[in-house]
Structure 1
Amino acid sequence: MMTIVRAKPDTAAVAAVDAARAALLEEVDAADVGAHLGHVVEGERLVTHLFACERAGYVGWRWSVTIARAPRQKTVTVDEVVLIPGDEAIVAPEWVPYRERIKPGDLSPGDLLPVEEDDPRLVPTYSFGDDPLDPDEQAQVRRVAQDLGLGRVRTLSLEGRELAAQRWYDGDGGPQAPLAQSAPDSCTTCGFLMRIAGPLSEMFGVCANGDANDDGRVVSLDHGCGAHSEVRLAKKHEPVPLPEPVVDTITLDDLEQF
């Protein structure tokens, strides 16, 4: 039996279990209603009675019947009858907006993924003062960027760079990847590492080894793999040399003599 007290309990409302069950049976079949599980004092002269739900597919759910008593009244009235999930109820997972569910690799040819105007990862390439919020000012920024030959209307903000750097560093191109953990040396000493420009150049480069798993991908300087330019096989791993060639001088006549 469960009793949750949030305010001073009203005796008449707490005792109105039969009235709550009767109101519930007017809405649902008797076979769907189980035992009385207790009550919750919602407020002054306001009590919610809970009943077990026996309906198939609703394990752990509860029927909730809210009872109220008006001031200076002896009888109670039913406010609402609803079905609510309990602690053990099976409920749908929390809704995640479609935009937040998209992961790298989900886009197919022809798919479009617009970026919000106020995306914190981007800032105007050229602006005066604070970022313009007025559409006319945004259009002016675009015209100025085009006139100056900057090409891009927006570029990465500091937050955008930090998010990208953290994502790359924690991913398959970072130092914690299994490939890097067993590598003989790091990318910073590899001849196939292509340096990049900009603020992230001190942490990342691009792999240009066509035989490596990371070819064409961003890798951290402390990443690594077995295709390092300076890697050498140990003698025990080197291929066994072939024997000296033997010239076969036996002719058919020689074979007939045998």
Structure 2
Amino acid sequence: MLVLLPPSEGKAPSGGDGGPLELGSLSLPELGDAREVVLGELVALCQGDEEKARDVLGLSAGLVGEVGKNARLHDAPTRPAGEVYTGVLYDALGLGSLDGVAKRRASRSLLIFSGLWGAVRIGDRIPSYRCSMGVRLPGLGALGAYWRGAMAGVLPGVAGDGLVLDLRSAAYAAAWKPKGEVAGRTVTVRVLHAPTRKVVSHFNKATKGRIVRSLMTAEGGEPGGPAELVDALRGLGYGVEVDVPGKAGAPWRVDVLVDDLH
């Protein structure tokens, strides 16, 4: 099973016990050249005109310190990506409290998309940074479009022949869209407030984090395909509605229904 996650805008504060970034040590080494280009563009932007960098990155005046942080990425200390990403989804997922078996499953299954790195595993050591997939870097344009070519050549192999659970937001889904046979075993998930059938952003993220945690800690084998995932979610107590694709090579869509918005 491969679980595709968005990152979080919020990151753990700079610092960590790791040395500076080593691009060659990151998972998915085929993305190395593209990562080096994006990193170089981002650092150059943030070492130049601060106001321009803040505008390009979409930062408020209160986040101007993020520009300086990006300017020092080559020398900044690193920590595992699973510790760098914070926020609602990751708080609910609670990677730090997983036991050994669940942590190994998460290390193998989770793939976090990133405007800067393309995608990383939770154990990859990275510095804290600020650069969303929606950013348009000078010289590169929109990062979602930039990453698409590199991802298309790498992600089908990473997906293997198992289930792909896609929990990304739209901006990060733009970087790779499963196609063909891989798409046919991909499931996208929405979390809806059951009485209104509306998406509630904060609770959407929290529920997705809980779903991933439930799958990582569940006893027995991992779901092998979309139908098995639906059974697993129902077995874990989630209310589920399924939109089964009408043609081969199309992803399944699953709506998880919740009553409680806390």
TM-score when normalising by structure 2: 0.17
RCO higher in structure (CA 8 A, sep ≥6): 2
Structure having the higher strand fraction is 1
Structure having the higher helix fraction is 2
TM-score when normalising by structure 1: 0.17
